[in-house]
Every structure is written in C-alpha cells, then in structure tokens.
Structure 1
C-alpha cells in the first residue's frame, strides 16, 4: 500500500513546499511524497470526533487524475503510421465456434478483431469510504466509473462508417487512503455489551464471582490436584499455569497491539460486465527504481522482441502459431509467407499454423496479434514528459487476491478465469501545454473446449485504447464522439434527444 508522508513543516515550510510543487507538472504534484507503508510506520489512532475531518481529507491517490470524462483519441495525425485507423481502440475476441460445446470437438473457435471508440467516465465519491474491522479501520478514496464502447467498421458500398455498441461496464475503483488503529474504550465496551453481567458458569466451574470478566482465567493447580483459577493480572512472575479460560469481555485499550493491516496492494477495481461476469482486480503503481512517477514515455518492444506471449492474442495453449524460441515472428514486418499459403500436413505438421493463421492474416495485423502495439504507435512522435503505470490483476502471485464471478451460462460455456490490466496515465506536451492522456491494455482470459491432448485451452480477449478529455481531441473526432455518445436516441422511440442536464457537454 502506498501512503503519502505527512510532514510537520510549519507555516514557512508549508509555503516553500507549495511554491516548489507549483512548478511541477500535475502528475508530479499528485505523486509527490508517496512511499510504501511498512509495519514500523506510525499508525494513527482513530477517534470518532475526527470522522468528518477524515472524510474531508480522504486521499484518492493517482485515481484523482482520472476524474472526468475520457474519450477515444485517434492517432491518425501521426506521420509514422502509414495505415490510417478508423478508431483508436483495438479489441480481439475469441468465442466458441457455432455448433461446438465443451465436450466434443477440440478447440474450434471464432475470431474477431475490430477497432472501437469509447467513452469512459470517472467520478470521485465525496467523503471517502470507511471500512470497519474492529481494531483496524481502513479508509478508501472511491471513484465510480462507467464505460461505453462501440465498434467501428467500414461496410462495403457504404460511405458512412458503422458504429455498433459492443460493451457496457460500470463499477468502482478504490484507493487505500489510510489505516487507523481503533482500540476499545470504556464507552465502546459498555455500548456494545453482548454478555450477562454475571456468569453462573464462571462461578460454578472456576469459582469466579466478578462482573463482566475482561481477563482470562488461568488454572494454577497441576493436573491431578484440586482445580484453582486466578485472573491473569493475579499471576506472579514465572508462576506456572496449566489451563486458560478466555475472557468474554474487553478491557479499555484492547486492540492497541494489533493486528495491524498492511495491505500488499493500493488499488482495487470492482466491475460488472453485462455478459454475466463480475470482476475484482487488485494492484498497485509499478515503480521504476524508487520512483512512482516515471520520466519519459512508456516503452514498448519492437520487432521480434514484441513476440511476448503474455501480450498476444495467441496463447501458448493455442499452439503459439508454431513459433519456436529461436525463430520468433517479427511483428514490425509483413506477416510470414505461410500466413497467406494453403497449409497441409507437409508444411504445417501438427496444425499449429493453420489453427491461428486467420489471426495473423487479419486486416488489422500486427494489432490483431498484439493489440498494445497500437498504443506504442500512438506514442510515436509524442512528447511524453512523465507517466504513472498502474498494474492490476484478478489473480495475484501471492497474498491478497481478487476474483471473478460468472453467471451459470458463462460459467458453463465460456468461463472468465483471469483479468490482467495495465493503465498508463501520461503527461503529453503539445504546443507548450501539458495534456493528460490515458492508455490501457486489458487482457481477459477465457477457458473453453480443450486441446487434442485433453488439456484446457486459454483464450485471450484483449482491449487496448488511447483516451483524452473531450476538449483535448481534434474537432473532427470530437464531432463523432458527441454524435455517438452525447446525443443518444431514445431506446423505445428511436428519436434523438440531447443528453440529460448536468452532462458537461450538454447543449441547449
């Protein structure tokens, strides 16, 4: 968990700190002072009278930079990109082929790769979220999100592009703001009583006649002798005891010694997808050395180095397109000749090539194979001064875990088993002005059907996109976005209506 250091600088020190931070970029100001929370860091005691102040000062961390509405930003301006794109987003989707079921023909699948546009809105939840865990309390900065995606396709014989809704999602991000220790007090103990004042069983079994026993009873007589019990506070140094009867009530101050919650993540995301999956991802900001704000631009590989299975739409369980470690496919060159050949048992022994041939032969190659190369190519020619890299997953290697719930249909036929996400929040300098840019790669893994050897096949479903605030995209793109997302037809009548009042781009 990342936590901003609180410094007692005094009035002069605070003024100097403020002046220094004003000369920094927005992301540099936002990320200033964060370090990893450790077990030996001071823990603040929670006091009920401070609850309103805690809520007012809750930290949203890097999530604060997301606040507002983001829309697709197409990089067709970039002279380095020779083939103009229809839209900024790329998705690859693999589904079971018609007529198949989980128990018959191995691994027959359908494949789609499309460009898409998107509107993604984040809203800070005022006051923070309080999670009470007894002796530990956790306050979070909550950020709601809503995502709408439409595919963009060119239809033969039609001049206008076709925009088709393909994805809706909503949910919430949480930034772990602060951890507090909440020890028992005389007032909380009396308010939350749950036992009788006197216990007849204590008197009968242990000879204890007091009220609201808040200490363990210890048997000090050895086995085989008449049983004698005393309170823990009556135990003498080095006096042996042979049995412990736990207390049923607390003493004031109970919980001061922990347990202390030191989470191994800073950000969570819970989302609901209308296909029937609910996801929870956990993650953190990926540092470079000791810095959580990285200077320069995100780095993506080129050529053969870009053939990295964890980012490809072709998993190893799909045969990996027959690629061998010493003969990788160069994704910055035209697809290999065999992609456009007729394959048979002679030139494709084992059928690994023909199994994924259509993915490499797709019109959107190489993005059909590695969609995040679109992010890389969008960054070409941009001046990125710094960025923050957020990594999240539903399945951590160790420690705390996220998770996925699927409705019965999805769970039976196309179960979602894992979600990995990368998000880059970038400062782009254009015409002397700092512009925030958001890029992401999300890889959803399905498992359905099986290989010829009976092994389970893992199918990647990948989404990548580049987003900016509406005012920071070119006018021609802004017009399309407004038409597709801010002027909506009524779902019953089909009549076009302006967005509801309160939308920042509502026009009278």
Structure 2
C-alpha cells in the first residue's frame, strides 16, 4: 500500500491532497523542460507503507478535518470525462478493440465439445470519473481507514462498416458502473473510558464473584491466570502480578481497559486500489491491486513497454488460450504477430496438414481483418503510441484472483453461472503524460481480460475463453473538435452518462 508522505505529520500540515485534486481539474498544464509535471509532482509525494511507518491516533474531534483531508492518490488524475482518442487526422473510427468468445448457438454445456462463436470489433467509449467528496470511513475496531472513493460510468459502442454504405454504424454494446477506492490514511483507534462506557454490553462483576477484588473497575476487564502461590494454594492473579510464574488456566477478560488496541495488530494491506463494478447481465466484480513499480520507482520514465515480433506471443494477453489449442504454436515456437499471418491461415486445412485440429479451431481468429489485434488486442495500444512523446506514466494492475495475498472475486446470477460463468478478471491501466506542442496532456490506456469457462475439450478438460477489451482515451477537452462532436452525438451529455445500451448486445455474456 502507498501512503502520502505528509499524512504522518499531523493534521496541521498543508492539505496536499486537496491541492493535487484541484490541479487534476486542469486538463492542460504548460511546462518548460525540467519542470515537474502533474503526474511526477503527485507521485513524488508517496512512499510504501511499512510496519515501522508512523500511524496517527484517531480522535473523534478530528473527524471532520480527516474527512476534508481525504486522499485519492493517483486516482485523482482520473477525475473528469474521458473519451476514445486516435490521431487519425481529426476523424475517429474506433480506438478500442474487443474480442469476445461465446457459446455457439444450439450448444449446451456437456454436448458438443468447445464449439464457440467469435467476434472482434472496434469501438468508441465514454468513461466518466467523479470524486466522492469526503473520506469513506471503514471502521475495524482498533484500526480505522479512510478511503478516497471515485465513481465511474462507462458506455461503449461498437463501430462497423456497412457494406454498400459509406457511413459507419455505431451499436451500443456495453454499460457498466462502479467505484474505485484508494486506500488512504490508517489510524489507530484505541479504547477510551468514553468509548468503553458507551459501548458496554455486560453486567458489572457479581457481588459473590470470588475474584471481584481483582477487577478494579467493577467490570471483568482483566485476564486472570491460575497459579499456585507461596503457600501452595491455587489462586487467580492478573497479568501484572503473574511475574513469570507457571500458570494452569486462563480466565479471559470480557471488557476492555482504556488504551486497549494501542499495541496492534496494525492493518497493512498488500494493495492500494480496489475496483467494484456491476455489469447488467448479472456479474459483479471486485478487483484488488496496486501500482506496478519499475524497480523502486512507481513513476516510470517514458512510454509503456509493449512487446513486438515473436515476443508478443504470450498467452496471458492473447484471445487464444492454451486450452483452445494455442493455434498449434507455443511461447517457445511462437507466431510473429508483426508479420503477416502464417500461410496455413488462408489454406484449406484437413487431417493431413492439421492432425490435432489446433489450427482450424482458431483459424478464423488469425484470419480476421483486424489481425493482429484480433489475436493480441493490446498491440493496438502500442501502435497508438507510435510517434508520440510520452514523458512518463504510472501503471495500475488489478485482479480478481491474485496469486498471493488479498483476493477480489466475481459473483454471477444463476443463468450466467450455468452457461457462461465468469471466473477471473485482470486489468492493466496506464496513466500517461504526453507532450504535445509545448503542453502536457494526460492519456489513459487500459487492457481488461475476462475469462469465461464453458463447454469442454475433447479430453474432457475445462476450456478457458478470454474476452479482451483495450482502448486509448483522453479528456474530452483534449481531443479534436471532430472527435468531440462525434462523442457528444453518440453519447449525449458530456458530464452525466445515461444508459443507452441494449443489454442483449453487450460483449459480456452475449447469448
């Protein structure tokens, strides 16, 4: 977890978070070489939270000041309306790419092994982030945490060319809303005389309790230890009087004493960001994650790194999973995605040239007119960045199923859970500083991969079906007038998103 450097210095320090959020409302910032840009300035204020990092005590009289000082971290850079962007001379076709695999019509789980339909389309998008005023207070007894909450609304329309028609067709395919949380300041909230009395739910020690004299407050707020005293008689003593003696049983306390909780345990999460989203087909997702450092630096100099050539054939980012046969290739014997598709993609395949049926199974994906993006969509992000001067960036990695540590999760309604269960979701998001014509512009890119499981392989094994979305976006004030006009026409209202999508057309769980 990351924490702002000044948070442990008390509440009278300058309100850096408020200043940074105010800076984030400006879409452009003039700069001169050597100046700190907005992203660099923000990230210089953060460090990793460790067990030895000072933690402030929580006091109720400071509650309003704490709420006013809520921190949104790097999420403060997201505030506003983001829209699809490309530099296609003012015209916007489709900056995003989605690949979607669904059960083939007529199939049912457990009948025809692995028969699927495949779609790959370009799309445009409007994505709005709104900071929730004040901190979200999470109470955990001795631990208190205040989170910076950011609501998001997402609308997507596919872009297709209609044969015989020069105009483009825009079709609503996805709506989603939810909330990001930035884990902000952690406090230690120890018990006080006031909180103990207000929250008391037990009787005073009974008058005939033989150990009544050990409870000075009149309530059972001491842990007692049974020992044998110097006279050889069994008796209970408090921890204060145990003095290292051997004891034979323990009678636990039922009430707190002032100061309880001061010595921990302290909550140090292994993530800084959570995302909870609702998809109208019946899936609710929670992702957990953090900023991805480059060595010890969370602000990475230059553009995001994407592979090319043979190195791009990595199944974690392909629309073809290994359980789908991997197109007859492997990471050791890859297909070069920066070269034309292999010759077999355009050949008639049979049992002689494709004995395992791995090629014919995925042939249409490699033969798609959007190749290589139909195979590895995030190469569109790489290619969109060519020719741009990207000064620096931060990368956020989120997942519903982390390899270790804290876990998110996915809930599906019964229909989805039965026919197209969503089992895992991973996301990479880059916030980038782009230099253009003497100004800095923020750019947002993301790759989102959802894994479905349905049908089965010839050998009875479970098949994993990737559904991938990628896009490049900029603030609506930072795109060309032509692109802005198109977005405003396709997504009415630049500040409030209203649902315009037909639920049956969403790439998620289309059936």
TM-score by length of 2: 0.89
Greater shift in the superposed pair: 308-317 or 322-331 = 322-331
Task: Report which structure shows greater RCO (CA 8 Å, sep ≥6).
Answer: 2
Asked whether 1:414 is paired with 2:420, we answer: yes
CA 1:342/1:21 → structure 2, altered by over 3 Å: closer, same or farther?
closer
Asked whether 1:101 is paired with 2:114, we answer: no
CA 1:491/1:61 → structure 2, altered by over 3 Å: closer, same or farther?
closer
The residue aligned with 2:466 is 460
Q: How far did 1:313 drift?
A: 0.1
Deviations 1:322-361 (A, max 9, x none): 0034431111111111111110010001100000000001
Query: Which structure 1 segments of 5+ residues have no match?
Result: 79-83, 493-508
Deviations 1:435-460 (A, max 9, x none): 10000000000011111111100000
The residue aligned with 2:252 is 246
Q: Within 5 A, what are the aligned runs for 1:345-384?
A: 345-384=351-390
CA 1:436/1:491 → structure 2, altered by over 3 Å: closer, same or farther?
closer
Deviations 1:190-213 (A, max 9, x none): 11101001247x816999686212
| 2-structure distance, mates of 1:11, 1:399 | 34
Deviations 1:37-95 (A, max 9, x none): 110111111111111111111110000000000000023249xxxxx982100000000
The residue aligned with 1:290 is 296
| 1-structure distance, mates of 2:438, 2:34 | 17
SS at match of 1:409: helix
Among 64, 74, 81, which residue is 1:62 paired with?
Answer: 74
| 2-structure distance, mates of 1:402, 1:67 | 24
CA 1:400/1:484 → structure 2, altered by over 3 Å: closer, same or farther?
same
CA 1:209/1:380 → structure 2, altered by over 3 Å: closer, same or farther?
closer
The residue aligned with 1:157 is 164
Deviations 1:382-433 (A, max 9, x none): 0101111111101111111000000101111101111010000001111111
Number of residues of Structure 1 aligned to a counterpart in Structure 2: 479
CA 1:289/1:358 → structure 2, altered by over 3 Å: closer, same or farther?
same
| 2-structure distance, mates of 1:486, 1:325 | 45
Contact 2:85–2:92 (Cα < 8 Å) also in 1:
no
Could you say what the CA RMSD is over the residues aligned between the two structures, in angstroms?
Answer: 2.7
Deviations 1:243-278 (A, max 9, x none): 100000000000001010010000000000111100
CA 1:351/1:199 → structure 2, altered by over 3 Å: closer, same or farther?
farther
TM-score by length of 1: 0.89
Contact 2:215–2:222 (Cα < 8 Å) also in 1:
no
Asked whether 1:72 is paired with 2:84, we answer: yes
Among 40, 48, 56, which residue is 1:44 paired with?
Answer: 56
| 1-structure distance, mates of 2:142, 2:127 | 38
| 1-structure distance, mates of 2:461, 2:491 | 43
Among 265, 269, 283, which residue is 1:263 paired with?
Answer: 269
Greater shift in the superposed pair: 190-199 or 451-460 = 190-199
The residue aligned with 1:341 is 347
| 1-structure distance, mates of 2:386, 2:356 | 39
Greater shift in the superposed pair: 397-406 or 471-480 = 471-480
The residue aligned with 1:127 is 134
Contact 1:75–1:88 (Cα < 8 Å) also in 2:
no
Contact 2:179–2:277 (Cα < 8 Å) also in 1:
yes
Asked whether 1:313 is paired with 2:325, we answer: no
Contact 1:206–1:228 (Cα < 8 Å) also in 2:
no
| 2-structure distance, mates of 1:21, 1:296 | 15
